[in-house]
Amino acid sequence: MTDDLDELRDLTRRFLAKELEPNQDLWSRQHAVDREFWNAAGAIGLLCISCPERYGGGGGTFAHEAVVIEEQARIADDCWAYNVHSTIVAHYINAYGSEEQKRRWLPGMARGELVGAIAMTEPGAGSDLQAIRTTAVRDGDHYVINGSKTFITNGTHCDLLIIAARTGEERGGKGLSLIVAETRGLRGFHRGRVLSKIGQHGQDTRELSFTDMRVPVANLLGEEGQGFGQLMAQLPQERLTIAVSAVAAAEHAVDLAVEYAKTRTAFGQQLLAFQNTRFVLAECRTEALALRTFVDHCIMRHLDGALDMATASMAKYLATDKQSEIIDRCLQIFGGYGYITEYPIARMYAGARVQRIYGGTNEIMKELIARSL
Ligand SMILES: Cc1cc2nc3c(=O)[nH]c(=O)nc-3n(C[C@H](O)[C@H](O)[C@H](O)COP(=O)(O)OP(=O)(O)OC[C@H]3O[C@@H](n4cnc5c(N)ncnc54)[C@H](O)[C@@H]3O)c2cc1C
């Protein structure tokens, strides 16, 4: 931590307490944050915080992104898909976009005027991205895109959608490219149903489909056929953001359970006086600290540009497995109240489950680690 990061933490904490926390229930019911919330976050400089200042970003590093993600986890927020927009989509554009593309899209993303999403997953292709079937066929200065995607976070609000599509005849990863669709008023772009999930109710996770959707060739990121490599290069950062949110959520769960165990009584004494409660919380606190130490190590490596695929995968799978386990054990301390959604621990329990699935399932993480052995 530095003074700069501490200031950002204070700013984020105040902003989220005022603008996000009071709306969590409403946004969960409407399955999306209010659109204006993105603009409000942009106005105080929380978006694209690690993109260069010349493109409207904050000029910070991944550490700045991590601070915002941690603060979100510390209020048990599962509505705002900040990381998809700021830590993931903006970084694809920053890494692979031309000068013209960066100038056209990043300032709007930093102001919250353009919301970003990324569409890799299809009904028949999740873990196996090489099986993607969406096609982008050249017709003059445009690609004509056809296909369907599912589970797309920010599906309702997205103005910029990075689409992984097949531009070549080659099989597997070689024919894949990343193309940015500017979705406002775009013919052939359809938003399907909002998916009903067991947790993370405030997120606008949707199906999307494309029917003869014409996108300028100028919106291709990098070169044709580079898509699979671009995805593989960016996924370690995505996985690290999931690990960062997982460890912060685990820490928060322990804090909540300790607080509850001090106030609730049974058999004439505090829950915290029972040896079982004390031991469970002692174990959870220890595991959360061990996890924090490992994830901080990964953040430092990433800041040095030295976080490899296998280590990022270790962080993602271990942190999310432990997040689920720690939250489950902490929920037990709340008894029946832990199962009631007005208690944050209940929302955290449901929200944690998907962390082991998206960003590459934890089984795929182990495959990637095993390949490095
Ligand atoms: C809430 C939510 C938000 C999401 N947001 C996005 C988004 O914004 N953009 C996006 O593109 N995607 C998104 N996803 C999709 C997510 O990344 C995929 O669900 C995930 O990659 C798994 O793909 P799948 O669901 O098709 O499962 P499958 O690939 O069908 O896997 C099913 C099971 O088989 C296992 N399996 C598969 N292959 C192997 C293997 N080789 N070895 C061992 N086990 C294997 C998996 O681990 C899993 O347990 C989101 C998903 C959810 C639920």
User: pLDDT (tens digit, 9 = 90+) per residue, 236-260?
Assistant: 999 999 999 999 999 999 999 999 9
Q: What is the mean pLDDT of residues 42-52?
A: 97
Confidence class for position 171, pLDDT limits 50, 70, 90: confident
Instruction: Give the residue, by CA position, lying nearest to ligand 1 atom 37.
Output: 127
Q: Is 260 in the pocket of ligand 1 (CB under 6 A)?
A: no
Instruction: Evaluate if residue 280 carries a pLDDT over 90.
Output: yes
Q: Is 283 in the pocket of ligand 1 (CB under 6 A)?
A: no
Q: Characterize the bridge pairing of strands 176-182 and 160-166.
A: antiparallel
For the chain, the distance separating the N- and C-terminal CA atoms, rounded to the nearest angstrom, is: 33
Instruction: Give the residue, by CA position, lying nearest to ligand 1 atom 25.
Output: 126
Mean pLDDT, the chain, rounded, equals 97
Task: Name the phi and psi angles at 296, rounded to 5.
Answer: -60, -40
Ligand 1 centre and the CA of 122: distance in Å? 10
Confidence class for position 125, pLDDT limits 50, 70, 90: very high
Instruction: Give the residue, by CA position, lying nearest to ligand 1 atom 29.
Output: 127
Question: What pLDDT does residue 173 have?
Answer: 87
Ligand 1 centre and the CA of 88: distance in Å? 17
Q: For ligand 1, pick from 79, 238, 358 the residue to mutate: most ligand atoms within 8 Å of CB.
A: 358
The H-or-E segment that residue 164 falls in is strand 160-166
Q: What is the mean pLDDT of residues 3-16?
A: 98
Ligand 1 centre and the CA of 131: distance in Å? 13
Question: What pLDDT does residue 107 have?
Answer: 98
Confidence class for position 231, pLDDT limits 50, 70, 90: very high
Ligand 1 centre and the CA of 105: distance in Å? 28
Q: What is the mean pLDDT of residues 56-76?
A: 97
Q: Is 156 in the pocket of ligand 1 (CB under 6 A)?
A: no
Q: Is 319 in the pocket of ligand 1 (CB under 6 A)?
A: no
Instruction: Evaluate if residue 87 carries a pLDDT over 90.
Output: yes
Question: What pLDDT does residue 172 have?
Answer: 84
Cα 81 to Cα 68, 98, 206, 215: the distances in Å are 11, 26, 13, 25
Q: What is the pLDDT of residues 318-339, one digit of tens each?
A: 999 999 999 999 999 999 999 9
Q: What is the mean pLDDT of residues 115-120?
A: 98
> Rounded to 5, what percent of the chain is helix, strand, coil?
55, 15, 25
Active site positions, annotated = 238
Q: Is 127 in the pocket of ligand 1 (CB under 6 A)?
A: yes
Confidence class for position 170, pLDDT limits 50, 70, 90: confident
Name the CA radius of gyration of the chain, rounded: 21
Q: What is the mean pLDDT of residues 353-358?
A: 98
Ligand 1 centre and the CA of 259: distance in Å? 36
Instruction: Give the residue, by CA position, lying nearest to ligand 1 atom 11.
Output: 120
Q: Is 364 in the pocket of ligand 1 (CB under 6 A)?
A: yes
Strand partners, 135: 146, 166
Ligand 1 centre and the CA of 128: distance in Å? 8
> Could you tell me which of 36, 34, 43, 50 has the C-alpha nearest to residue 86?
50
Question: What pLDDT does residue 221 have?
Answer: 98
